[in-house]
Amino acid sequence: MKPYSFAVPIRLVFADDNYLLREGVKQLIESQPELELAATASDFRSLMEAVDKERPTVVITDIRMPPTGTDEGIRAAEQIRASYPEIGVVVLSQYVEPEYALSLLAKGAAGRAYLLKERVSDIEQLVNAIQEVARGGSVIDSKVVEALVQARTRKADSPLRDLTAREKEVLAAMAEGKNNAAIANGLFLTERAVEKHINSIFSKLGLQEEKDTHRRVRAALLYLADTSQA
């Protein structure tokens, strides 16, 4: 499908703390007649200052920048939505991180894109994403979508899927090596209630006809294996 043609260049602000990447993307953008780079930024503060000053059509931002190097891109997108809802945001991430994509879209997908940084070298993909969010659409990297699907499949197949919320709390405490008394104190339960929850956990996980100490270990291993894949 032929990319949508805008009458005037799309004004951009690009933020990334990596100087070489910032310069590389700057050159890519400047080579495209349908794009106009209004400003670059290297951290959260300078990004928000550039947005306030330039009022771009679209912001392209790394997900992790100073000062914390964690989720500045997501926080910037949230702040931009609150102050300038008409501005689109393309968030770039070095890794497949479905939870960040979900955070980006939590309050609406309109005008939002989540791409892996490896896509930046493909100028056509980048331009398409910019154009899509500029007109209010959304784009999610296919690899992130695949990871989301796999996560849902794992959850559906999880041996813990039938446990209640309280049983999962008890199992998590068991995985920490706590005895029944400690679990009871931590969850404000009676020891008898903890015993009932543990027996239910053993039953739902199919851990029967063994010494309780062995079943506790196996239950803890199932919990740790399941949570490590989530």
167-181, pLDDT tens digit by residue?
989 999 988 888 999
For residue 48 the two structure tokens come to 């928000």
> The tokens of 153 are what?
């499949």
Among 18-32, 62-76, 105-119, 215-229, the least confident range: 215-229
Average pLDDT over residues 18-35: 93
Q: What is the pTM of this model?
A: 0.66
pLDDT for 149: 64
pLDDT, residue 1, reads 40
Lowest mean pLDDT segment, chosen from 10-19, 95-104, 109-118, 148-157: 148-157
Does 3.40.718.10 match the CATH number of domain 10-150? no
> What is the average pLDDT score of the chain?
87
Give me the phi and psi of 172, to 5 degrees please.
-60, -40
Domain boundaries, the chain: 10-150, 165-229
- CA angle 42-82-145, nearest 5°? 70
The one-letter code for the residue type at 88 is G
Residues in the chain: 230
Is residue 144 within 8 Å of 114, Cβ to Cβ? Answer: yes
Q: What CATH number matches the domain at 165-229, 1.10.10.10, 3.30.70.3270, 1.10.3720.10, 2.50.20.10?
A: 1.10.10.10
Cα 63–chain centre separation: 10
Task: Tell me the two tokens of residue 27.
Answer: 């050159």
What confidence tier does 2 reach under pLDDT thresholds 50, 70, 90?
very low
**Whole-number Å distance between alpha carbons of 49 and 133:** 21
pLDDT score for 228: 60
